[in-house]
Amino acid sequence: MFSILSLHRKEPDLAVDFGTAILRAGIADGQRFSEEPSRAGTRPALRQGVIADADAAAAVLDRVFARYRKSNRRDLHVLACAPSDATEDEQALLSRALQTAGATRTAVVPEPVAALIGAGVDIGSDGAFMVIDLGEGVVDCALIKERRLFASATWRGGCAALREAVATCLRETHGLQVSDAEAEAVLRRVGVESRPGAYLPIHGTHEDTAVPAAVLNAALREKTDRIAATLLDFVKQLEPEICAEVIANGVEITGGGVLIPGLAEYCARVTHLPLRRAPRPLESVIQGACSLLGPAAKLNLWDSLRSFWPPGAPSL
């Protein structure tokens, strides 16, 4: 007998935002999701937004999937996200990691598409929509038009590269060894905007040291210039009509980089585009991915999720 219950069995169960630093997973309502560090012990599973250690990735996913296997359902359908420039091999590696961890069916969608949906944008409406996702491992700038990824540009550096620049600067200029967490704290304090004459007390290995903010800003400039170049090159390639649509619709900015003081404003200044911060920038991707689960199952569109990629993209 066909019923709502039989329909529910076909529903993809889980959405996954497998980030460079954090894996987020959630179900269709998008209100509850879990977080897990993207590492197995000391081994990072991802680097610059894509899987670098398949065994570590499967171990992380296995921990997450275990929470959802308690329902005793035999099938676990998983929708995951990948950077817009992910190659066929990188997408296939993600799918294999999902399957190794127990997924019986998988789909991979472009991360910027999920980010836009999670930010509250109706990508099914007319016009072109642009998103800048300032992620941990990747800065992903993408244009969504006609319900699919239309064009994109990425810089595989992301917030991790900014944090590494801070740590390297402190080590080379002041002999300070800081952890990733400490470098992140310094980055959140100094930001990317120049503050002449300001000093930041840094908690080093043996004693506190006052470091000129200008020194840290200079160390960050190379990385922020890379972000600017990526965004500018992308915007310059847009046709005038599309650029007008983007300006009319506004540009969503998502990802952890939104929390770095001055970075969102810097992106707005170099692109001359109206940027709008997503309500929950860290969660935009997982919220968007979760919102795709229900319609994909109820409308029997699971196999059509590949349509979010440009025509000619590989079918996994």
pLDDT at 5: 33
Domain spans, the chain: 4-115+282-308, 121-277
Report the sign of the C-alpha dihedral through residues 45, 259, 185, 216, in that order.
Answer: positive
Cα 56 → chain centroid: 19
Domains 4-115+282-308 and 121-277 fall in the same CATH topology: yes
Instruction: Give start and end residues of each alpha helix (H) in the chain.
Output: 4-9, 54-69, 88-100, 111-118, 158-174, 180-190, 213-236, 240-249, 263-271, 284-298
The percent of residues above 70 in pLDDT, for the chain, comes to: 87
Which CATH entry fits the domain spanning 121-277: 3.30.420.40, 1.10.287.3610, 3.40.1210.10, 1.25.40.10? 3.30.420.40
Q: Does the structure show a pLDDT above 60 at 165?
A: yes
pLDDT at 51: 94
Q: What would the CATH number be for the domain defined by 4-115+282-308? A: 3.30.420.40
The percent of residues above 90 in pLDDT, for the chain, comes to: 64
Residue 12 binned pLDDT confidence (cut-offs 50, 70, 90): very low
Q: Does the structure show a pLDDT above 60 at 227?
A: yes
User: Of 4-18, 93-107, 300-314, which gets the smallest average pLDDT?
Assistant: 4-18
Assess contact for 306 and 147: CB atoms under 8 A. Answer: no
Q: What average pLDDT does this structure show over 295-312?
A: 70
Q: What average pLDDT does this structure show over 43-49?
A: 92
User: Of 124-138, 202-216, 283-297, which gets the smallest average pLDDT?
Assistant: 202-216
Q: What is the pLDDT of residues 138-148, one digit of tens each?
A: 999 999 998 88
Q: What is the pTM of this model?
A: 0.88
Residue 9 binned pLDDT confidence (cut-offs 50, 70, 90): very low
- Looking at the DSSP bridge assignments, the partners of residue 86 are none
- Distance from C-alpha of 18 to C-alpha of 282, rounded to nearest angstrom: 12
Letter for the amino acid at 53?
A: D
- Distance from C-alpha of 85 to C-alpha of 5, rounded to nearest angstrom: 38
